[in-house]
Structure 1
Amino acid sequence: MKTAVYPGSFDPVTLGHLDIIKRASAMFDEVIVAVMTNSTKSPLFTLDERVKMLKESVKDLPNVKIESFDGLLIDYCKQNQIHIIIRGLRAVTDFEYELQISQINRELSHHEVDTVFLTTSLEYSYLSSSVVKEIASYNGDITPCVSDFVGEELYKKYGYK
């Protein structure tokens, strides 16, 4: 059975993230979406809230599992015998950063973990969680960016609706 992990902070999960998850779920027997704590970011949503939003968002994908972790991704992969990391790419600038991370992960895993890059569908190439949060903070229309459930949670967080 081929299992892949799609790690991220998902603060919040966007339609671009969901596009990657759905496409990866068609390629692998199991996809684990690993919600991580990123020490360089101050999340709007708690880890539990992000996990809850993802579970709601992927409830129709039976081979997708949502988990959370803290620490190095490569350690998570080793502990769970995962040899494939999924990463989404929006632009060439994403590739430069992601290539470096994939290379260090491969070295740290003694060449046992590879990264598979999926390019974001064109319709979501402009999306980022940061942009979505900014639009929502001004009560802007985020319906093209996130699911209805995630949109409601975002507006609630900012005191709207």
Structure 2
Amino acid sequence: MIALYPGSFDPFTIGHEDIISRAAKTFDGLVVGISEDNAKDNFLNYEQRLNLAQVLFSSFSNIQISCFRGLTVDFAKELGAEIIVRGIRNVTDYESESQMAQLNKQLAPSVETIFLNSPDKYRSISSTLVRQIHLLDGDISSFVSPITKDFLLKLK
């Protein structure tokens, strides 16, 4: 069974990496889908995020990294993915992700969404906060992998 874990991943955090490694153990194939046209002002362009992901997950034989445009459910159908994986850190995430899952189910009844809860140690980490800390020259070592930290430092 193929699953899709979509997101902007701007940048990848250790929370994202945790969800990806857990999902990769659960499904035969996992596509990490990097959204090119999300509604966010991205810090990293999609090519940088794609390159970073390819390095981060190169040791996983069942993970494919791909960029996509448009609706996530359309990309899932294009891939033949039966599952969309979403990470949940808190109640706010659950409310927005649950609403999105319900709409996606109406758009693509054959695609299910599953939620993976973040461990307590990752619940406060978000890409937005990591970007802010990084741009203000703070230490992001506790929030991203050494690979991601080095990648971001090279951009300064």
TM-score band (shorter)? over 0.9
Residues in 2 aligned to 1:103 and 1:9: alpha-carbon distance in whole angstroms: 20
What is the deviation of 1:156? 3.0
Match of 2:145 in 1: 147
Identity in percent: 37
Change (3 A) 1:23 1:15: same
Alignment of 1:123-142 (within 5 A): 123-142=121-140
Whether the 8 Å CA contact 2:8–2:38 is kept in 1: the answer is no
Question: Deviations along 1:64-86, whole A, 9 cap, x unmatched?
Answer: 11000010111111212111000
Whether the 8 Å CA contact 1:137–1:155 is kept in 2: the answer is no
Whether the 8 Å CA contact 1:86–1:118 is kept in 2: the answer is yes
Equivalent AA in structure 1 for residue 154 of structure 2: K
What is the deviation of 1:38? 3.8
What is the deviation of 1:45? 0.7
Name the SS for the 2:5 alignment partner.
strand
Structure 1 stretches (4+) deviating beyond 4 angstroms?
Answer: none
1:26 aligns with 2:25: yes
Aligned residues: 156
Moved more, 9-18 or 132-141: 132-141
Name the SS for the 1:74 alignment partner.
helix
Whether the 8 Å CA contact 1:25–1:64 is kept in 2: the answer is yes
State TM-score, norm by structure 1: 0.93
Name the SS for the 2:76 alignment partner.
helix
Whether the 8 Å CA contact 1:139–1:155 is kept in 2: the answer is no
Equivalent AA in structure 2 for residue 30 of structure 1: G
Alignment of 1:2-81 (within 5 A): 2-81=1-80
Residues in 1 aligned to 2:65 and 2:94: alpha-carbon distance in whole angstroms: 25
State TM-score, norm by structure 2: 0.96
Name the SS for the 2:125 alignment partner.
coil
Question: Deviations along 1:28-78, whole A, 9 cap, x unmatched?
Answer: 001000000244211111101001111111111111110000101111112
Whether the 8 Å CA contact 1:5–1:32 is kept in 2: the answer is yes
Match of 1:102 in 2: 101
Match of 2:115 in 1: 117
RMSD in angstroms over aligned alpha carbons? 1.0
Equivalent AA in structure 1 for residue 126 of structure 2: S
